[in-house]
Chain A
Amino acid sequence: MICSIIPPYMLKRLAAQDAPRFSAVRRAAKEALLHVKTVQAARTAPAPVTPPGLRQVQPAPPDRSVYDAKSAESLPGVLVRKEGEAPVGDPAADEAYDGLGHTHSLYADVFGRNSIDGQGMPLNATVHFGKLYDNAFWDGQQMVFGDGDGEIFERFTRSLSVIGHELAHGVTQFSAGLAYRNQAGAINESISDVFGALVEQYFRKQSTADASWLIGEDLFTSQVEGTALRSMKAPGTAYDDDVLGKDPQPDSMDAYVRTSADNGGVHINSGIPNRAFCLVAQAIGGNAWEAPGQIWYETLTGGSLPPTATFSVFAKATAASARELFGDGSAEHDAVREAWETVKVKH
């Protein structure tokens, strides 16, 4: 068990240092604060979603396996590459292997998380799923990637943010357990976009200002008028195409979409919390996987987010996490509250 000799108020001051020379101190203080919060939560929460002590586990190296479904739809398929083995020359298999590793790095290095479940879960992926399959998904235990149809979509392993998105569904499953319908489902989707974007930004070492904030860049073929599946910075602007239509994501509650399709529009209304996160990152500056990512990660894994959370409940939870980590009225706390105001979510 990790114990901290530095009191929480001092950790908060250290965590709030924004000068570049304090970056290591800042990160260490934030991690220590997360441990403190975990211990506090374990003392007060009657039934934490995440078993106590997970954050005390030293993250283990990744344990990756990539399978080939060979255009069938049975999982996992034929094992083509295991941990530590050399590239096999199949772009889909090698991109999946690398993407799993980059995702593991974000959680281990930045959040101290031991794989997707916090307990060293092996990372498995299947590529070449189905025939011309236009999708990628997390099946509760592993990643699955289609090859795309070649007309609208390229293979889904091309986008690191998509790989990070899918594995974040696993993190959500093993932490807050958010429902996959209506606003809770849209939060579930948004969290996957947030951490998918962070995986990509952390790998590329891109600051908030440098990042594209696009999800699924490089997935569309050249025939499509669009840059990505979604834009976190400007929801609703990722594509506008004769065949696909216009990106339907709203950027505030004013344009909230009520629909029965897509489990109540989980991929549509996720634009609202997506933009809120991007606004927080822009207000704080620097690297989004630092303070903004810590706030969202703490909200997701802290044990207080209900599975049926609405946008308003989630907004309040992120503000509470920011206050807990950085102090009441801190720049981070203000950034979170202002972001939710901008997208018109009550908090």
Chain B
Amino acid sequence: MKITVERSGGIAALTRTWTVQATTSSDKSHWQPIVEACPWDAVPDSRQVSDGQPDRFMYSIRAGQRRATLPERAVTGPWRVLVETTRAAAEQTPRNGTATGIRS
């Protein structure tokens, strides 16, 4: 399972992407509960998502076939755990953690 967290926006408008690959059964048993704890079905249409606060970050999260776009203030609880765990894991493995300019 591939997990990707893309953070866009912010006053600097630098899109940063953190990716991890859960390939072994041990990896999958670690990531599965973190991913499944998130309320994927309760996320509004990404075109309707707006934080209402200028210059806050926007998060686009993908885990396998599941996708969610969330404003920064909605990244709480299990979403925050998923984002921070993904970021920490990606940053431990530099090739998986990338920081890029905006990508359309």
| Residues of chain A having any CB pair with chain B under 8 Å | 134-140, 152-153, 156, 162, 165-166, 169, 180-181, 188-189, 192, 216, 219, 229, 243-248, 257-263, 265-268
A239 to B2, CA, bound (A): 31
> Which residues of chain B have a CB within 8 Å of any CB of chain A?
6, 8-15, 46-47, 50-58, 60, 69, 99-104
The complex places the Cα of A263 from the Cα of B90 at a distance, in Å, of 25
Q: Which residue of the partner chain, among A140, A156, A262, contacts B9 with CB atoms under 8 Å? A: A262
Residues of A within 8 A of B47 (CB): 260
Can you name 14 A-B residue pairings with CB atoms under 8 Å?
A137-B53, A138-B55, A192-B54, A229-B11, A243-B99, A244-B101, A246-B101, A247-B101, A258-B104, A260-B47, A261-B8, A262-B13, A262-B102, A263-B50
Is the CB–CB distance between A136 and B11 below 8 Å? yes
Contacts of A156 in B (CB 8 A): 11
A135 touches B11 (CB 8 A): yes
Given contacts A244-B99, A246-B101, A261-B103, contact A134 B10 (CB under 8 A): yes
Chain A nearest CB, measured from B50 CB (Å): 6
Complex Cα distance A90/B15, Å? Answer: 30
Do residues B54 and A188 form an inter-chain contact, with CB atoms below 8 A?
Answer: yes
B102 touches A135 (CB 8 A): no
Contact in complex: B55, A166 (CB < 8 Å): yes
Say whether chain B's binding surface is mostly helix, strand, loop, or mixed.
loop
The reply to whether B12 and A180 contact each other, CB–CB distance below 8 Å, is: no
Residue on B nearest A156 in the bound complex, by CB? B11
Asked if B11 contacts A268 (CB within 8 A), the reply is no
- Evaluate contact between B100 and A245: CB separation under 8 angstroms: yes
Q: Which residues from chain B contact A260 at a C-beta distance below 8 Å?
A: 46-47, 69
Query: Does B58 lie within 8 Å of A262, measured CB to CB?
Result: yes
CB atoms of A261 and B101 under 8 A apart: no
Bound-state Cα–Cα, A136 to B15, Å: 15
| Residue from A134, A180, A188, A257 within 8 A of B102 (CB atoms) | A257
Chain B residues with CB below 8 A from A259, complex form: 102-104
A189 to B9, CA, bound (A): 11
Residue of A nearest to B73 (CB): A139
Question: In the complex the two chains form, what is the Cα distance from A206 to B55 in whole Å?
Answer: 27
A262 contacts which chain B residues (CB < 8 A)? 8-9, 13, 15, 58, 102
- Chain B residues with Cβ below 8 Å from A267 are 9-13
User: In the complex where A229-B12, A261-B15, A267-B11 touch, is A137 in contact with B102 (Cβ < 8 A)?
Assistant: no
Q: A294 vs B55: C-alpha distance in the bound complex, in angstroms?
A: 25
Instruction: Flag if B14 contacts A244 (CB, 8 Å).
Output: yes
Question: What is the bound-complex CA distance between A181 and B103, given in angstroms?
Answer: 17
B53 contacts across to A, CB distance below 8 A: 137-140
- Interface centre among B13, B50, B100, B103, by most chain A C-beta atoms within 10 angstroms, is B13
A272 to B: closest C-beta gap in Å: 14
Known: A248-B102, A262-B8, A265-B102. A169 touches B15 (CB 8 A): no
Cross-chain contact B12 with A135 (CB below 8 angstroms): yes
Output the least CB separation between B55 and chain A (Å): 4
Once the chains are docked, how many angstroms separate the CA of A140 from the CA of B55? Answer: 11
- Among A166, A216, A244, A258, the most chain B Cβ lie within 10 Å of the Cβ of A244
- Known: A248-B13, A248-B102; 12 extra A-B contacts, CB below 8 A, are A138-B53, A138-B54, A140-B52, A180-B52, A188-B54, A245-B101, A257-B102, A259-B103, A261-B9, A266-B9, A267-B13, A268-B13
